[in-house]
Amino acid sequence: MLPGKNGKVITYLQELLPFGRPEEVRSEVERQKHVPGEGGGYICAPAHSLPDDVPGDNILAMFGKL
């Protein structure tokens, strides 16, 4: 988690997507959906593409929680 310039928090799934278990991915995506808080926004994006080392089950886990 990184603080943004406007005081909002930016979170990343860079390490979790390729190396975490699907249940960890689901849990973290669910947690991150609530981080922005009132008036905030949530952008779920793996950058511009999903790396080859991300297991299919983790991709499905991420999108299943959105």
Nearest to 66 by CA among 39, 50, 45: 45
Does residue 33 or residue 64 have the better pLDDT?
64
pLDDT digit string, tens, across residues 2-15: 455 555 555 567 77
The upper half-sphere exposure of residue 34, i.e. CA atoms within 13 Å in the direction of its Cβ, equals 4
pLDDT digit string, tens, across residues 18-62: 888 999 989 888 887 776 656 666 666 656 677 888 899 998 998
Q: What domain count does the chain have?
A: 1
Question: 9 is in which domain, residue-wise?
Answer: 2-64
**pTM for this model (two decimals):** 0.60
Predicted local distance difference test score (pLDDT) of residue 11 = 56
